[in-house]
Amino acid sequence: MDSQLIIFALYFVVVFLIGWYSMRATTSESDYWIAGGKLGWGVGGATMAATHTSAGTFIGTIGVIYAVGWSFAWVLISIPLAYWFMVAVLAPRFTKVKELTLPAFLQRRYDSKTTRGIGAVIILIATVVYVQAQIVAGGLVANIVFGIPTTTGMVVFTIILLIYTVLGGMLAVAYTDFLQMVIMVLGTIVSVPLAVSHFGGFGNMIELVHAIKPLTFSWSGFSTSLLITMGLAFFLGSVATPEKVVRLYAMKDMRTIRRGILLTIILVTGINLLVFILGLAAMVLFPILPTGDLAMPVIARAVLPTFIGTIMLAAVTSAMMSTVDSLLLVAGSALSEDIYQNLIHTNATEKRRLLVARIGIVIVGVIPLLLILGGFAKGELIQFIVVLFTAIMAAGFFTPVVGGIVWKRANKHGAIASMVGGVLMTGVWKVYGDPTIYPVLPGFILSVLLFVIVSLATKAPEDKLWKPYFDK
């Protein structure tokens, strides 16, 4: 326990120092929100990968594979395709005009404060949903490592995140993400061979999995329609979620973006493949866990050597923190730039807007914790909360963002209808729809239909709105 406390204490000290340094280096809103648009491909690609790699990867994915088998792995094939689409189709036009937030892009492209405000509200709703999953995972890790109550762990995890994110903004987030990605890579590379060695090799482990859960490598864990629609959620959400696309603004130029995204694909795909193996190992080692979300923490505590297990749990913590800090930053920008400055106090000073942003980050970080303590989403596997967030973001943003840079005729009426209709349909389908079809499909279909039909039925946009994104 003493060595675990020392490792985690050192880790958090480094994180706080990065936050403090970043606060001193932050001199403008551009620094705070997009790191001044000067990130290189190494830090840019690592922060993109770290933002993607969350509790949904290290706890949620392992938990789902533990519960239903390997079939879930097919869903994640969509992720490299999504990043290819981002760099080949979205980035070249999307970054022609740099903004501080995704809703600011929506306002510029569609000449509509309403569009920007709706985008900000969607971000806030989706962030609250997603951060809940990470806070729950933080409580699980704290309980396994330190033996403290899960609730206490969730509170401490939230406080630590809020401190360094509020202090340093995007600079703090980018540099801590780089550190956290290094820990994640080292943790998985070292842990997987040690876990497999308990079976005398990978082949023996596969045989034992077949013996214990014969259907693990079949499609029967999920219906085909659910697998396909969850894959669609990951694809669409990975392309258009605000915490991802704002990193396109944070990197220096298209050459940097291409190299950074290539690094992202390598890191994300490699880590996912390794955690799949840990999920299979957990099936054999701990066949009767009460929930699959405990598989990763239990492996780290009971199977791996103390030092390696602690590093692995630090990697899990890094995954959670690297995602939540990005989302809190996006939510803070939504409150400060897209709601407060855009709709409430248009003449607010930069200092005042940054103050509002920091207060907003705290509020958005505390609300998910209060919802969890109140019993909201109790019993949900972490990965399913993550996919719901992805579905909301995909239905709300993919069509107006991608459509805005590939279709000149798109206008504000179509964008608004698309965003509102897509998110509402996603929510309605989640509650009342067929559970074998994930809500992203009906939400996405409706958003596309409304985008096209309403745009064509209303006045065409002025040329000056779409020209900056189409000029060579």
Residue 106 tokens, joined: 């929506």
Summarised one tens digit per residue, pLDDT across range 205-245 is 888 888 887 777 777 667 778 788 878 877 887 887 888 88
Summarised one tens digit per residue, pLDDT across range 374-426 is 766 554 445 556 667 777 888 889 999 999 999 999 999 999 999 999 999 98
pTM reported for the whole predicted model: 0.80
Predicted pLDDT of residue 452: 97
User: Which sign does the torsion angle of CA 174, 176, 182, 185 carry?
Assistant: negative
Over pLDDT 70: what percentage of the chain? 87
Over pLDDT 90: what percentage of the chain? 21
Predicted pLDDT of residue 217: 78
Predicted pLDDT of residue 17: 76
Q: Is the pLDDT of residue 42 over 80?
A: yes
Q: Is the pLDDT of residue 165 over 80?
A: no
Predicted pLDDT of residue 418: 96
Predicted pLDDT of residue 415: 96
CB 25 within 8 A of CB 31: yes
Banded model confidence at residue 169, pLDDT cuts 50, 70, 90: low
Predicted pLDDT of residue 108: 93
CA–CA dist 358, 350 (Å, integer): 12
Q: Which domains does the chain have, with CATH numbers?
A: 2-375 (1.20.1730.10)
Q: What is the mean pLDDT of residues 161-178?
A: 70
- Name the nearest CA neighbour of 137 among 54, 69, 67, 65: 54
- Name the nearest CA neighbour of 150 among 15, 294, 13, 6: 294
Q: Is the pLDDT of residue 152 over 70?
A: yes
Summarised one tens digit per residue, pLDDT across range 248-294 is 888 989 999 999 999 999 998 888 888 888 888 888 888 777 766 67
Q: What is the mean pLDDT of residues 10-32?
A: 72
Mean pLDDT of the chain: 81
Summarised one tens digit per residue, pLDDT across range 303-351 is 777 777 777 777 667 666 666 777 777 777 787 778 887 777 777 777 7
CA–CA dist 162, 173 (Å, integer): 11
Phi first, then psi, for residue 244 (nearest 5°) are -85, -50
Phi first, then psi, for residue 251 (nearest 5°) are -85, 155
